[in-house]
């Protein structure tokens, strides 16, 4: 719990966040934001970025393959944003909504996607 508090405090302050292999356990949204925020000069940057991209793409691909087109509430815009843009925007969106930091990461991801890329019906 203390580690999470420190991570949230660092995220809120905009300071660099320390990451180690336990970051990839994803106990909550805060852990995902930490993993997706590893700076380029950090030793775990490539691993963290790959992990974050994999989770985001995997969750969205699963949604896309299991929800019929007429029931989707998230629609991909044209042009399709890059994974890096979605990852960065998700991190910024979540930092501005600290009430979600303890929520399951995929739930928060889909809140972000639904708000950012809603289907126009």
Q: What is the pTM of this model?
A: 0.78
Residue 110 structural domain? 2-115
The verdict on residue 120 lying in a domain is no
The verdict on residue 111 lying in a domain is yes
The verdict on residue 15 lying in a domain is yes
The verdict on residue 121 lying in a domain is no
pLDDT at 51 over 90: yes
State the Cα–Cα distance between residues 83 and 40, nearest whole angstrom: 16
For residues 7-33, average pLDDT: 63
The verdict on residue 37 lying in a domain is yes
For residues 34-38, average pLDDT: 92
For residues 31-35, average pLDDT: 93
The helix (H) or strand (E) run that includes residue 117 is: none
State the Cα–Cα distance between residues 27 and 22, nearest whole angstrom: 10
Confidence of residue 24 (pLDDT cuts 50, 70, 90): confident
Q: What secondary structure does DSSP assign to 16-49, as a single string?
A: -----GGGGG-SSHHHHHHHHT--TTSTTHHHHH
pLDDT at 18 over 90: no
For residues 58-63, average pLDDT: 96
The helix (H) or strand (E) run that includes residue 96 is: none
Q: What is the mean pLDDT of the chain?
A: 85
State the Cα–Cα distance between residues 54 and 60, nearest whole angstrom: 10
Q: How many domains does the chain have?
A: 1
pLDDT at 7 over 60: no
């Amino acid at each position: 719990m203390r580690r999470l508090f420190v991570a949230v405090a660092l995220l809120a302050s905009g300071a660099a966040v320390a990451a180690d292999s336990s970051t990839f356990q994803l106990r909550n949204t805060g852990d995902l934001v930490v993993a997706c925020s590893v700076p380029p000069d950090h030793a775990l940057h490539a691993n963290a970025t790959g992990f974050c991209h994999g989770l985001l793409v995997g969750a969205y691909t699963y949604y896309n393959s299991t929800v019929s087109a007429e029931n989707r509430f998230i629609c991909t815009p044209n042009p399709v944003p890059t994974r890096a843009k979605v990852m960065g925007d998700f991190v910024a969106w979540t930092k501005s909504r600290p009430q979600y930091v303890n929520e399951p990461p995929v739930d928060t991801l889909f809140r972000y996607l639904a708000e950012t890329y809603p289907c126009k019906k």
